[in-house]
Structure 1
Amino acid sequence: MHRRTLLTALAASGLTPAALRAQAFPSGPLRLVVPYPAGGGIDAVARYLAQGLGEELKQVVNVENKGGAGGTLGADAAAKAPADGHTLLLAGNPELTIAPALFGKLPYAPLADFTPLVLVAQSPSVLVSAPLSASGARTLREALAAAGKRGGIPIGTPGNGSPQHLAVELLRAGTGLDIVHVPYKGAAPATLAALSGETAFALVGAPPTRPHLASGKLQAWAVTQARRSPLLPEVPTLREALGSASTQPGSDEDLVAWYGLLAPARTPADVAQRLERAALAVLARSEARARLAALGTDDLALPAKAFAERMKAETQRSAELIKRFGIKPD
């Protein structure tokens, strides 16, 4: 009798069960899992997004940092959470599109175990060096040639298997130069290596380089993406830096670190759509671009379908590059 009464009321309201469920969501606080320790770039983006999502959804969104194993521990925890929309993941391409090929076997399968919601932002990767004015180098080709006079050309990155590592391997293969990849434990030590002259160049995300670029202690040569970054509009793309007619592999690809919002797979479609709309609303706010730029990222706000397509394409590309160059984890 109760069920019949409920169905009658439902029919009278004109709402489907899915619509009612979406209206009732969220029924309590949400948690946003970040697979890295507090204090990093992705954590700062997560806290800005969590505040905005809380305002849009009229619920508290708590950030939960669960670092370890290169981001895979937190990603695994989120993948195994109840698929009711109350647990979300803000993660990047290292644990979503690179790790499957780099580590061989993971306790989760990113393309199968997550529902992509919104690709939030990306942090441009910039090739930098200590100022080379004494060498007379004015272009990237000249800078690489000047550095190569001393033997191999060491380029530091945040680590083996990072997006920057893939870009370095493509640069080496495309130019035919004796480029030597030097992995560090993060972007900060790789940046310091370029500052001190320990390496000729560093290829890292923009945030740790910005104060040194502003002070003139570092010089920027290129960003590894198809279009110039709004964050560093004066820095050419790799294709521009190598020459407009360049067909070097990787010169027109986005080899950057990005941050995306996901939910566990099998999250109801109506709930996922509400989360997507809420995240896009946060990123459409007038202050969003400036807030994300202050955190060293370019806002993207790619909706679910485009995000899923990018994940799939990057997963395939990463697997091909890791196999081609024989890249192993640290």
Structure 2
Amino acid sequence: MTRILSRKHFLGAAALAATTLLLPTWAQAQAGGYPARPIRLVVPFAPGGNTDILARMVGQGLTESLGQPVVVDNVSGANGSIGASRVASSAADGYTLLFGTAGTQAINQSLYKNLGEKNLDDFEYVAMVTSIPNVLVVNDTKGAPKTVAELAASEKARREGLNYGSPGTGSTVHLSGELFKTATKLNLVHVPYKGSSLALTDLMGGQIDFIFENVTPALPFIQGGKLRALAVTSAERIPVLPNVPTMKELGYANFVTATWNGVLAPKGTPAAIVKRLEEATLKVAASPEFKERVTALGGEVKPLAGPAFRDFTRSEYRHWGAIIKDAGVPRQ
């Protein structure tokens, strides 16, 4: 039997159908109009470090590509977790982004008890752009160790242990020191500082014995003859320090550590906006000028699209989690 719709039911059904048909068009229009205002790129560390420097380079490139200002906002604290949490709780509209690091995305989850977010699932992964290894440096004075083997021997000769610095607990600098301690069974004492500059100043002043510092802040002092580079933690030697061996070359087979950076958005950001940001970010990473500047800082351009970036982060989470567990680093 044929059912005859009332005018009320007919109009309701027609409205529902029209709405359904318009949904994709509306979503596309929203993405098509993006961005319509400035974008905030949160750097979860203080100004001046390698993360801040790289973020400003990426922000400049995104500004040119997207046609709207990308403003860097430094929100530091708790190894980057404060800034990361703030982005995770922001509106998922593409106007607040995170310049994430190994610390915020792969280390803090194993180190801090009360994170506001778990980081692995509370973000949309836009794209990864760079990787910067660490370099083992000592004070370049007469009698200072010239090799990693001499550094290890100096600890045994002194019988009082060696002190190593870092810009803070949970940084890749700190955990590289802990990995070295686990691998060598040496008596090493961690001395955390509030930033790389203070730690490097004390290293040059003789207050601490060595640092596995990120290449970027250490490089000017190496090139200026104030610090001596004994090894890098990359898988292969790096162009700015071609004569410095890798830890792998020296017999530390699994000693590959680096900090890395990528762009992330709050969970739930529309897929079309994430895709637009991904394309723009990878375009910046592919720029010859960007590659040249990153290489000069001692880093490597390592572009990964969103899905590959997400998978890489999970791999790094397992990697750093194992280092933390094996070294017995207490949860904060």
**In which range does the TM-score fall when normalised by the shorter chain?**
0.7 to 0.9
Read off the aligned partner of 1:140 and give its amino acid letter. V
Q: Residues 4-83 of structure 1: matches in 2 within 5 Å?
A: 18-83=27-92
Question: For the residues of structure 2 that align with 1:216 and 1:89, how far apart are their CA atoms?
Answer: 36
Q: Residue 127 of structure 1 aligns with which residue?
A: 136
Q: Residues 139-150 of structure 1: matches in 2 within 5 Å?
A: 139-150=147-158
Aligned to 1:104, the other structure's residue is in SS state coil
Deviation at 1:224, TM superposition (A): 1.6
Q: Residue 291 of structure 2 aligns with which residue?
A: 289
Give me the identity figure in percent. 38
Read off the aligned partner of 1:25 and give its amino acid letter. Y
Aligned to 1:124, the other structure's residue is in SS state strand
Q: Residue 300 of structure 1 aligns with which residue?
A: 302
Aligned to 2:282, the other structure's residue is in SS state helix
Question: For the residues of structure 1 that align with 2:183 and 2:59, how far apart are their CA atoms?
Answer: 41
Question: For the residues of structure 2 that align with 1:154 and 1:7, how far apart are their CA atoms?
Answer: 65
**Do 1:154 and 1:199's aligned partners in 2 also have CA atoms closer than 8 Å?**
yes
Deviation at 1:212, TM superposition (A): 1.7
Q: Residues 177-326 of structure 1: matches in 2 within 5 Å?
A: 177-240=186-249, 242-243=250-251, 246-247=252-253, 250-251=254-255, 253=256, 255-295=257-297, 297-326=299-328
Deviations 1:137-162 (A, max 9, x none): 55321332134312213222222222
Which of 72, 77, 94 does residue 103 from structure 2 map onto?
94
Deviation at 1:49, TM superposition (A): 1.4
Deviations 1:107-146 (A, max 9, x none): 11201111111112223211011236646x5532133213
TM-score where L is the length of structure 1: 0.86
**Do 1:161 and 1:329's aligned partners in 2 also have CA atoms closer than 8 Å?**
no
Indicate the larger mover: 68-77 or 48-57.
Answer: 68-77
Q: Residue 84 of structure 1 aligns with which residue?
A: 93
Aligned to 1:208, the other structure's residue is in SS state helix
Instruction: Give RMSD over aligned pairs.
Output: 2.7
Question: For the residues of structure 2 that align with 1:142 and 1:132, how far apart are their CA atoms?
Answer: 14
Deviation at 1:261, TM superposition (A): 0.6
Provide structure 2 residue ranges, at least 5 long, that are not aligned to the other structure.
1-13
**Do 2:79 and 2:169's aligned partners in 1 also have CA atoms closer than 8 Å?**
no
**Do 2:45 and 2:74's aligned partners in 1 also have CA atoms closer than 8 Å?**
yes
Q: Residue 11 of structure 2 aligns with which residue?
A: none
**Do 2:177 and 2:211's aligned partners in 1 also have CA atoms closer than 8 Å?**
no
Deviation at 1:95, TM superposition (A): 2.1
Deviation at 1:268, TM superposition (A): 1.7
Aligned to 2:120, the other structure's residue is in SS state helix
Aligned to 1:209, the other structure's residue is in SS state helix
Question: For the residues of structure 2 that align with 1:202 and 1:179, how far apart are their CA atoms?
Answer: 11
The change in CA–CA distance for 1:73 and 1:134 in structure 2 (over 3 A counts) is closer
Deviation at 1:279, TM superposition (A): 0.4
The change in CA–CA distance for 1:170 and 1:69 in structure 2 (over 3 A counts) is closer
Provide structure 1 residue ranges, at least 5 long, that are not aligned to the other structure.
none
Aligned to 1:39, the other structure's residue is in SS state coil
Question: For the residues of structure 1 that align with 2:141 and 2:49, how far apart are their CA atoms?
Answer: 30
Deviation at 1:28, TM superposition (A): 2.4
TM-score where L is the length of structure 2: 0.85
The change in CA–CA distance for 1:65 and 1:185 in structure 2 (over 3 A counts) is closer
The change in CA–CA distance for 1:213 and 1:37 in structure 2 (over 3 A counts) is closer
